[in-house]
Structure 1
Amino acid sequence: MGELRKRLLGLFGSAAALTLLVAPTSAVARDQQKAPVTVPALTNWASESGSYQYGRGVRLVADSPAERRVADTLADDLRAAGHGTVPVVGGGARTGDIVIDVQPATTSLGAEGYELHAGRRLSVTGATETGAFYGTRTLLQLLAQGDRIPAGRTVDVPRYKERGVGVCACYIHITLPWLENLVREMAYNKLNQLLVELKVKSDAHPEADTWGYYTKDEIRQLVALGDKYHVEIIPEINSPGHMDPWIENRPDLQLTDSDGNKQPARLDVTQQAGFDYYTSLMDEYAQVFTAKSWHMGADEYMLGSDYSKYPQMLRYAQEKYGASATPQDAYIDFINRVQAYAANKGKQLRIWNDGLTGANTVPVAAGTTVEHWLNVTTKPSQLIAQGYPLMNAAYSLYLIRGGFHSDTESLYDQSWDPRSFDGEKLASSKGITGAKISLWPDNGRGETENEVAVELWPALRHIAQTTWGDPHPDATYAEFTARGTDVGHAPGWRDLTRLPLADGTYTFRTTGASFEADITRTADGYATVRTAEGCLEVSGGKLTLNVPLQPGVEATWKACDATDTLQRWQLTPASDGFQLVNVITQMALTVTGDGRLVQYPPDQRTPAVWHLTAP
């Protein structure tokens, strides 16, 4: 026993008395120095004595219109998170209140930073409405861990302007509830940009309305949620490559090779009609998307081929730019024409980087944001030196449905940050707009939406951390992931793995068909429908990304296979029964006149409503 401890014991009489004297003081000191748990982690926290207590009688104090909008959203989220109904009031604050303060003169907070101060009352201050909103996300995360928040102050400002997630719903339809969950989770973790490659059902071009589309009302609903939660939803129609969802029924617009073969995925950029068609789609998207950016893709135009197979590209380029022009100049010319069209509509253009190989003599228009995902000849440092805003969309940040998954743990252990591009690590963040993770459907039936979600949440929180603050706030990856567990899901997030009825045997009845089947919940929260003949499965027709996406494809009984996602079904409540919706094709079953079960989009054929009874 140390001499000092012996003397103290002599003074205080017992080890227990000494512990009471010393331990609480040191523990309190440590707690005051430690920042509360959030995602992204707080980079600075000045502790104070005491705590803020959220309790009965709390009010949200907001005066200006911007403050009231933030407070109204916070009130909705507090109610959704089980924290009760909190009134929004104006005027002076009292003990226990939460004060929302937008002070434009606080320029040090920038466009998205905030200051949070917890004491007898709690205040959130931003120079902008968006900044104040992000402060409320921190507050919600703290309340998810308890109603008592340690007293202290933080000033929290993001390092990067663009903090994003990219989703390709370009062939395989992704449900609106899943996308809404994503928007809420992004905002909760202070991500601000959702880039979506998807098809909006076209009124101007009904020949392009093959399945995979969203109705305009669905997109309006999603964009409204994004607006509420400060997530900008940026649309993409990939072009001039990967255009098959749009021009598979328009051979007149398809690029033709020197052997006379039409290329359904390649738009003929040498035709004015091709440009007019594409810009008409842009105009139609503008009816439902409010973003100030337009993503045109521009990747993989010559994937699996080369320009020499298309002599018209060189002719077009030389006629427009002179004898020294290259075939790639025709491709760049199309990008620049779209850029000018977008700029005239008040939108900034975004493209992928892989087409910028340096084989062009015509430069991409200044101000075009380049999203770097593939290591090609033109490096990130060169693009920045040429003045292009550069976003890091590295392939190491991809989650491929049924394929490659980003190794989030390895990236965290390496202290990955947005300066780390595939093929080059930059010393400075200057010129880098931010970074995003990307979800791609290469093997559409490889995983269900719920399975993708399990992989997504750790990657989402990691990109939120690396784009907002310190890329390595905790000593271990396990400690970092524990943050996500502590703060939980966003208020309003829906558990999409719950079945609306129990496992068991049921009789299914609808007009024109009936059968008895066992319903069994799958590990990812869907259901198999099994009879003595086998499991209900959609199969046949033309496959797109390994998925039968054609309306009218039949569902039949096949040998049961637990790994076959086409045998998994959603039981969607409808009137006094359920619709049977395939979890991969996202089409509901209808019944033909001769009693066959076939899939159709819900806006093309009214889904059958199945009435289930237990025998």
Structure 2
Amino acid sequence: MRMTLAPRARLRRLRGAAVALLLLAAPVPAAQAAGAPQPASDPPRTVPALADWTPGKGSYTYGPGTRLVAHGQAAREVARTLADDLRAAGEGRVPVTGGAPRDGDIVIDVAPARKPLGAEGYELRAGERLEITGATETGAFYGTRTLLQLLARSDRIPAGRTVDVPQYKERGVGVCACYIHISTPWLENLVRDMAYNKQNQLLLELKVKSDKHPEANSWGYYTKSEIRRLVALGEKYHVTIIPEINSPGHMDPWLEKRTDLQLTDSDGKSQPSRLDVTKDEAFAYYTSLIDEYAEVFPAKSWHMGADEYMLGSDFAKYPHVLEYAKKKYGEKATPQDAFVDFINRVHAYAAGKGKQLRIWNDGLTGANTVPVAAGTSVEHWLDVKTKPSQLIGQGYPLQNAAYSLYLVRGGFHTDTKALYDKAWDPRSFEGEKLASWDGITGAKISLWPDNGKGETENEVAASMAMPLSHVAQVTWGSAHPDPTYADFSARAKSVGHAPGWRDLTKPSVADGTYTLRDTKGHAEPAAYEVKRTADGYVTLKSAADGTCLETRSGKITLNVPLEPGSSVTRESCDAANTLQRWQLEKAAGGYRLTNAITRMSVHVADDGRLQQYPADQRTPATWTLTNG
């Protein structure tokens, strides 16, 4: 049975409340508040904005009799995904059918002959029924994202027509989950919202738990089953997830126990973050990781990073690197040629596996005589000697990953308002503004964990809400669709989050004092005052001595204690200390307690000590909570 409209109205109110938490504060003009009527001639508000809108007479009404009519396998796939999302949005079960459409239906068509729509464009017509046409399955899918945004505001859509085609082919987000683990529900929310905003590329620097190299499995990793589920969600929502293992620099998560592969200077001091590019064993190690990642990432791209290899140092301290370059490329070779040689060998290896190589730009300093292999995609974030125009002139696909689009955890945050006010678009690189978009593949925002305890995941979600909408807008269409940033913020607020998006800021228990008991009885029962934090976690304050539960011991990485088995202790309470924030998650028989920053759960040792462990290493304790 279809739900009535009342549950949907409640859903809209709940969604609006969640959006208010996650959007950056900005004044909203009364005339543009979510749900306010628009003149019939104005395009309906979406993100990205509809640049092309021809109004018609009347409206389309979504109602209890609506069906999804689709012919052909590709159209049916789109229709089935839309049906799932309508159900998640509170619309009950909407049937997918073939046959002749009737008034009130949503018609989805994939018509390869509509070549002007390209690989991702679509046409949407609203009238007595609503019709979405793409030349490809992806294009039709994006038409359904527009439909969902329109239905988030009203079940009545003004009659009209739009042809909506993206400006850039890469519309993305980059996430470094490379040291600090980011929960999979958070990443799933990101994938859903990216697709909802028609973004198609998630570049994910991360560690997958290795079967081939178990010695490298320091915490921060994801299991292969977790990645398979995330990739499957990305495939359903047309978000390509591209993995990255940064090399030959920033490899400390992989080289901690492989000192034999670390670059060593002339004083015999090894560099734990740098791979020795002159060693065949180093190349074999890295390519074996590519092969293992290919088991769970089907993407046709491989990101090797290649940034900041000589950060804080220079090649002069490593004379054997120059010797290697000269031996291979002649007396005029430079140490940088050895670095580029490693990139090119990885390029050839990846190409042999059907994958295009991606790198950051800062290693392309112009100090090399050996060119980077043709076809390597470059992501430009830093102003160095080799400019964006030169890279495009040399034929390299170029993505804008400008530092001005960064969100550094506990540090620098992009100023979206300033970017919007000056109509920033992907032609504006660090150090150079290009006149044409030719050769530019698109742009992305980037999330970095430099101060891992500086912000929680939920705080990062709040900070990135408007940057996500902004980059979605500038990579799909106009850089300035509304007169002011406040107007654009209102636009983003009006469409809300994707169906299926989970509010991760809602604790599972109400504030109060509870006695916590682990179900195995190893730990002494203890009473704690459980109190919600502003970012949606909880603190646990001991009723006995007023101290707060925290994890702080063990190996520290990026200001975060990431050593499995390290102690969970009670310390002086500090509201600003994110390591005292916990997630109480419902589990069979009680609750699981997971640290908001380390993403490890509390385990109780046989002697009653509290320790933190990844869930796949030790079974998290199950806690029962009783009042008082």
> Shift in Å at residue 595 of structure 1?
1.7
Aligned to 1:133: 141
> Shift in Å at residue 232 of structure 1?
0.2
Mapped pair 1:562 → 2:572: no
> Shift in Å at residue 229 of structure 1?
0.1
**AA matched with 1:291:** A
The structure whose RCO (Cα within 8 Å, separation 6+) is larger is: 2
Superimposed CA distance per residue, residues 47-85 of structure 1 (whole angstroms, 9 cap, x where no aligned partner): 010000000110000110000000000000001011221
Mapped pair 1:468 → 2:463: no
Aligned to 1:536: 549
CA distance in 2, matches of 1:31, 1:412: 24
CA distance in 2, matches of 1:522, 1:64: 50
Aligned to 2:522: 512
Trace 1:324-343 onto structure 2 (pairs within 5 A): 324-343=332-351
The SS at the match of 2:74 is helix
Which of the residues 521, 541, 551 maps onto 2:532? Answer: 521
Mapped pair 1:175 → 2:180: no
Which of the residues 487, 503, 524 maps onto 1:495? Answer: 503
Aligned to 1:4: none
Aligned to 1:19: none
CA distance in 2, matches of 1:215, 1:473: 42
CA distance in 2, matches of 1:508, 1:456: 35
User: Is the contact between residue 116 and residue 153 of structure 1 (CA under 8 Å) also seen in structure 2?
Assistant: yes
Mapped pair 1:580 → 2:588: no
Runs of 4+, deviation exceeding 2 Å: 29-32
The SS at the match of 2:40 is helix
Aligned to 1:613: 626
Mapped pair 1:50 → 2:50: no
Aligned to 1:11: none
The SS at the match of 1:536 is strand
User: Is the contact between residue 533 and residue 557 of structure 1 (CA under 8 Å) also seen in structure 2?
Assistant: no
Q: Greater Rg, structure 1 or structure 2?
A: 1
> Shift in Å at residue 91 of structure 1?
1.2
> Shift in Å at residue 31 of structure 1?
2.3
> Shift in Å at residue 576 of structure 1?
1.4
> Shift in Å at residue 555 of structure 1?
1.0
Mapped pair 1:371 → 2:384: no
CA distance in 2, matches of 1:155, 1:216: 40
The SS at the match of 1:124 is strand
CA distance in 1, matches of 2:423, 2:134: 29
Which of the residues 255, 261, 273 maps onto 1:265? Answer: 273
The 10-residue stretch of structure 1 (571-580 or 319-328) with the greater mean CA deviation from structure 2: 571-580
Trace 1:426-445 onto structure 2 (pairs within 5 A): 426-445=434-453
Gaps of 5+ in 2: 1-36
Superimposed CA distance per residue, residues 489-528 of structure 1 (whole angstroms, 9 cap, x where no aligned partner): 0000000001111110111111211211110000000000
User: Is the contact between residue 179 and residue 253 of structure 2 (CA under 8 Å) also seen in structure 1?
Assistant: yes
Trace 1:315-464 onto structure 2 (pairs within 5 A): 315-464=323-472
> Shift in Å at residue 164 of structure 1?
0.2
Aligned to 2:11: none
Trace 1:270-309 onto structure 2 (pairs within 5 A): 270-309=278-317
The SS at the match of 1:33 is coil
> Shift in Å at residue 579 of structure 1?
1.1
User: Is the contact between residue 546 and residue 573 of structure 2 (CA under 8 Å) also seen in structure 1?
Assistant: no
CA distance in 2, matches of 1:302, 1:515: 51
CA distance in 1, matches of 2:553, 2:38: 64
CA distance in 2, matches of 1:436, 1:493: 21
User: Is the contact between residue 307 and residue 313 of structure 1 (CA under 8 Å) also seen in structure 2?
Assistant: yes
CA distance in 2, matches of 1:334, 1:30: 57
Distance 1:227 1:499, change over 3 A: same
Which of the residues 241, 245, 256 maps onto 2:264? Answer: 256
RMSD: 0.9
Mapped pair 1:200 → 2:200: no
**AA matched with 2:616:** D
Distance 1:138 1:30, change over 3 A: closer
Mapped pair 1:552 → 2:565: yes
Q: TM (normalized to structure 1)?
A: 0.95
> Shift in Å at residue 593 of structure 1?
2.6
**AA matched with 2:530:** I
Aligned to 1:230: 238
CA distance in 1, matches of 2:276, 2:617: 31
